[in-house]
Amino acid sequence: MSEVRSNLPILLPGEAGANESTRAVHTPRPDFSGVRPMGLPTYRTSAYEFDSAQQYADVLGDRSPGYSYSRIDNPTVDAFALGFASLEAHGLDRPVAAQAFASGMAAISTVFVALCRAGAHVIAPAAVYGGTYGVLEHVLRRFGVAATFVDITDPDAVRAALREETALVWAETIANPTTAVADIEGLAAVCREAGIPLCVDSTFAPPPVCRPLMWGAALVMHSATKYIGGHSDVTGGVVVGDVELVAAVRAARIDLGGSLAPDEAFLLHRGLATLPLRVARHCASAARVAEALADHPAVERVDYPGLASHPQHALAGKLFEAGPEGTRYGAIVTITPRGGREAGFALADRLQVAEVATSLGGAHTVVSHVASTTHRQLDDAALAAAQIGPGAVRFSIGLEDPDDLIADIQRALG
């Protein structure tokens, strides 16, 4: 008989167990023998086994490293969180930690719960994302947490809104949908003086665009559903920042249960490898679209940080990363047509290449009528305060040819 290759899986006598139910439960497992898979393994398990009861107690009590239950920690999820932290925190001279979540809103709500107590006060942008507004106004207010909404582009306005009970300042690198750019460095200085953390939602500006921790933010949050996943096929969130703050966020995540599943973590980790390439293309195409539509006669306003007319254009040039293609100003372009709400609906409905769809940051260019979708939680007064027009249409520029997108929008405008 010829020699059997050593890599052939062979079951030796007695290894399968005695009785069928035991054999079905305790199946043999392969030995990797020191080799490492290039693809990230997906640990699709909810529970882990231990060598002893003491080891179980020590891991569960955070006295020893390891895994006990995937609502608490999971190797695939940790691999994604650490991988993203390596992009977000590149160049920092201090350690950071990271936590992943089942969605961006799970990340946002968990940060607020972790850092706020009854009677706390939060400062947030007047143009804050509608989901964040909902958590602050419809959920946390019921538990005694107050929020003040200010022009987050003005550090002096934030300083004036501070109270003794202010627990944190919440900012968005690029506001949704106005594309206002936060002065992260200035806000961080105000927060340091007050002894409170600056927390930044940088969903619209992933690391190839901006790294808020480098400018003094204590925590950075992303809806990983968007650019990190990049293909409109996964939902998740991630928080990166100061170790002590992230430890508090982890504790709240465990209690609240908004943990990321391993299959989603695998997809999000896979997205990291192409994130710089995709974001560079998104941004370059968005700049082309914004410039082409800025002076269209049917357009009342185009919001995009890369336009010289944008109020924070110079600030964006300072904060945002530059690649071979130039400064990356993000890939969100908000177009407000003349004619109010009806004109906004008409613009969205007439598009043929761009699609009316939920979310953003994927390969497809997608649009949403802002007042009726992402910011539906805001009444007319809140929309006006946030400088959001009733006809505003938010474009998330995808990976199509920019000439096709420009022609599509021009045709839809009439």
- Taking the domains of the chain in order of start, what are their residue ranges? 56-269, 276-413
Cα gap 404→382, rounded to integer Å? 35
Bridge partners of 122? 147, 168
Judged by average pLDDT, the poorest of 14-23, 72-81, 188-197, 391-400 is 14-23
Q: What Cα–Cα distance (Å) separates residue 344 from each residue in 299, 337, 358? A: 10, 6, 16
pLDDT of residue 374: 78
Can you tell me the mean pLDDT for 90-97? 94
Indicate whether 102 pLDDT > 70. yes
At a CB cut-off of 8 Å and minimum separation 6, what does 36 contact? none
- Is 200 in contact with 238 (CB distance < 8 Å)? no
CATH number of 276-413: 3.90.1150.10
Can you tell me the mean pLDDT for 66-71? 95
Mean pLDDT, the chain, rounded, equals 94
pLDDT of residue 15: 64
Burial of 292 (0-12, 13-18, 19+ CB in 10 A): middle
pLDDT of residue 168: 98
The pLDDT > 70 percentage for the chain reads 97
pLDDT of residue 17: 62
Q: What is the pLDDT of residues 319-347, one digit of tens each?
A: 999 999 899 999 999 999 999 999 999 99
The encoded tokens of residue 152 equal 């987050």
Give CA 333 to chain center in angstroms: 18
The pLDDT > 90 percentage for the chain reads 83
Q: What is the pLDDT of residues 368-411, one digit of tens each?
A: 999 898 778 777 787 787 788 989 999 999 999 999 999 999 99
- Is 50 in contact with 59 (CB distance < 8 Å)? yes
Q: If pLDDT is split at 50, 70 and 90, which confidence band does 12 have? A: confident
Cα gap 29→9, rounded to integer Å? 10
Judged by average pLDDT, the poorest of 14-28, 64-78, 215-229 is 14-28
Can you tell me the mean pLDDT for 93-99? 96
pLDDT of residue 1: 47
Indicate whether 97 pLDDT > 50. yes
What residue type is assigned to position 365 of the chain? T
Class of domain 56-269: alpha beta
Q: Could you please report the per-residue DSSP string of 86-97?
A: HHHTTT-SS-EE
Cα gap 109→237, rounded to integer Å? 11
Q: If pLDDT is split at 50, 70 and 90, which confidence band does 359 have? A: very high
pLDDT of residue 337: 97
Indicate whether 149 pLDDT > 70. yes
Can you tell me the mean pLDDT for 360-365? 97
Can you tell me the mean pLDDT for 71-96? 95
At a CB cut-off of 8 Å and minimum separation 6, what does 405 contact? 285, 289, 353, 354, 365, 397
Cα gap 258→101, rounded to integer Å? 6
Q: What is the pLDDT of residues 205-240, one digit of tens each?
A: 999 999 999 999 999 999 999 999 999 999 999 999
Task: Note whether 56-269 and 276-413 share their fold.
Answer: no
Indicate whether 200 pLDDT > 50. yes
Q: Where are the alpha helices (DSSP H) in 206-333?
A: 243-256, 262-293, 313-319
- End-to-end, the C-alpha distance of the chain in Å comes to 79
